[in-house]
Amino acid sequence: MNDAKVTLWGWKGFLPTSTTQLSPSSLLIHLTSDPSVMARCHQCGADCPDIHDTSLRRVRDCDLFECRVWLEVPVRRVRCGDCGVSREKLDWLVLHSRITERLRSHLEVLLQLMPLKHVAGLTGLHWHTLKQIDKARLSRTLLPPDLSSLRYLVMDEFALFKGHRYATVVINAENRQVLWVGEGRSRKDIRPFFTWLGKHCKRIRAVAMDMNTAMDLEVQKHCLNASVVYDLFHVVAKFGREVIDRVRVDQANKLREDKPARNIIKRSRWLLLRNRENLSDHQDVRLKELLAANQPLLIVCLMKEQLKSLWYAPTEKVAQQRWVQWYQQALDSALEPLIRFAKRLKPYINGIISSASHHLNTSVLEGMNNRIKVIKRMAYGYRDNEYFFLKIKAAFPGLPR
């Protein structure tokens, strides 16, 4: 009979005695100790018949029908032969917790299904309590990455709060698992990653990253066998901002007298910056018409495609040839933004040519940047970087091999 009660309610060692309706939608259930179940010591788990004292604790359990449920639990302290005065051990209620283990498991599921703010609204629990529950789950369930066959890395940085502070993220380029996230982006800030990587540093063959960061010097210092590769995603995004967009604005300004033509160019930003393969047939026709009518825009769009081909070169030698050609064409174009960009790219070219030897797929970066923004929105306001970083790691657990 007792076992049946235990199974039904789940409050092992206790029996319900009475209820108090706290409000139309909340119920308080009073519990009493079950005389047939012996109290155990919290520290050593031994049975303890000797009770020192009892105090009432009010904790939250799962909802019952439409009611929020609180329990009033007479928690005891026992006199343990080995430990002295000690708290009673309860499997369904962790020491000092204000919610039952059953409710905690339920909340863990909800927190994986919807934003924390929604769970707070649904349950009436404080966001801080929920954040701690989610954080504890992530710390418990995230497995340490397998470093034994790690060869290729991608390093990137992202803004933490409105561009004032940054964080650095490191990914295994082959399975897309986030290996490490840390605050800051200076050499000193990212050094702990290499310390953590330890003996595995020497196996790293290439590291992809954005140009002009503190990362390459730090990589060269710790990973003696690694090439630095500048990734396509960042360079092409930069080309879009500094060349295509600049030329588009210049061209629109030149057409001041021709309002309709000017408007077409002004509204073409998205069309021009989008990857061509992602355009619909209709958009593709619009782009073709736009480029046919505007020589400078056509040139910079073609130059973007040719720039990309550097990363897809079969060998470093071919990449080198393509670069020489590209650079000369840029200088001959008479388009100021393009010439400026080419000159600024030149000192970094070895890091682009070396991509021919290490075909690193860094397309993960684009998706990751967007995903981090979404996580940031959902975790915004909590100002807890540790939690934010755990969420990022959980979102990129790595593809199965």
Binding region for Zn ion (CB under 5 A): 41, 43-44, 46, 80, 82-83
Residue 45 or 347: the one with the smaller Cβ distance to Zn ion is: 45
**Could you give the CA distance from residue 128 to residue 110 in angstroms, rounded to a whole number?**
15
Alpha-carbon radius of gyration of the chain: 31
Interhelix angle 232-239/336-345, nearest 10 degrees? 150
Residue 82 or 284: the one with the smaller Cβ distance to Zn ion is: 82
**Could you give the CA distance from residue 401 to residue 399 in angstroms, rounded to a whole number?**
6
For residue 201, the surrounding DSSP H or E stretch is none
Residue 78 or 313: the one with the smaller Cβ distance to Zn ion is: 78
**Could you give the CA distance from residue 203 to residue 153 in angstroms, rounded to a whole number?**
11
Residue 37 or 83: the one with the smaller Cβ distance to Zn ion is: 83
Min CB(6)–Zn ion separation in Å: 23
Min CB(38)–Zn ion separation in Å: 13
66 SS3 class: coil
Residue 44 or 217: the one with the smaller Cβ distance to Zn ion is: 44
Phi, psi of 60 (to 5 degrees): -95, 140
Min CB(233)–Zn ion separation in Å: 58
Min CB(79)–Zn ion separation in Å: 9
Count of C-beta atoms within a 10 Å radius of residue 360: 23
**Could you give the CA distance from residue 111 to residue 132 in angstroms, rounded to a whole number?**
11
Min CB(83)–Zn ion separation in Å: 3
Residue 86 or 227: the one with the smaller Cβ distance to Zn ion is: 86
Min CB(56)–Zn ion separation in Å: 23
| Closest by CA position to 350, among listed 251, 230, 252 | 230
